[in-house]
Each structure stands twice: as structure tokens, then as C-alpha cells.
């Protein structure tokens, strides 16, 4: 399964990060969620964890659960989808 981003990343008037899905629903997010969302483009969950692990120099075991939780929440908000 490959992750596909949906929606847009932007900043609101106050400068906070917001992800807006294709249904025009906006979600205030933090830097960590934005970091994961930006990197979740046309790769599998496993590749995402591996890439972020390398980039941050943190073991995959330490970040696997957190990354997968973020991906699940982004999917619920229709900001990511998984395709064959």
C-alpha cells in the first residue's frame, strides 16, 4: 500500500499550520504532523518510517508507533489515503 497526500498545507492568519482536506475542512496541526504529512508522498508506511528514522537519526523501533498513529489520524481526517 502506498500513501497519497490529500489536501493542502497552509498557515492561517495567526501563522499556525493548518492542513485542509479536499472537503475544505481545516485542521490545526503542529510541526511534527506537518513533518510526517510532507514526507508521506507516494511511499509505503514502512518506507516513511525508514526515511524519517534516517533523517532524524532515531531508530525505527522508537518512532514506528508514533508515525503510524499520525498516519492513522491523517487518514481519519481525509488528509492521507492508502492505495494499492
**What was the pLDDT predicted at 13?**
95
Residue 64 lies in a domain: yes
- One pLDDT digit (tens) per residue for the chain, 84 residues: 999 999 999 999 999 999 999 999 999 999 999 999 999 999 999 999 999 999 999 999 999 999 999 999 999 999 999 998
Provide the domain count of the chain: 1
Residue 40 lies in a domain: yes
Instruction: Quote the pTM value.
Output: 0.92
At 71, which CATH number? 1.10.10
Residue 84 lies in a domain: no
Residue 69 lies in a domain: yes
**What was the pLDDT predicted at 12?**
95
**What was the pLDDT predicted at 46?**
97
74/72 Cα distance (integer angstroms): 5
Domain region containing 29:
2-79
82/77 Cα distance (integer angstroms): 13
Amino acid at each position: 500500500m502506498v500513501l497519497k497526500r490529500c489536501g493542502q498545507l497552509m498557515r492561517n492568519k495567526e501563522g499556525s499550520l493548518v492542513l485542509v482536506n479536499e472537503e475544505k475542512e481545516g485542521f490545526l496541526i503542529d510541526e511534527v504532523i506537518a513533518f510526517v504529512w510532507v514526507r508521506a508522498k507516494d511511499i509505503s508506511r514502512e518506507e516513511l518510517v525508514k526515511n524519517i528514522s534516517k533523517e532524524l537519526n532515531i531508530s525505527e523501533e522508537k518512532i514506528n508507533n508514533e508515525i503510524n498513529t499520525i498516519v492513522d489520524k491523517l487518514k481519519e481526517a481525509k488528509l492521507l489515503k492508502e492505495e494499492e
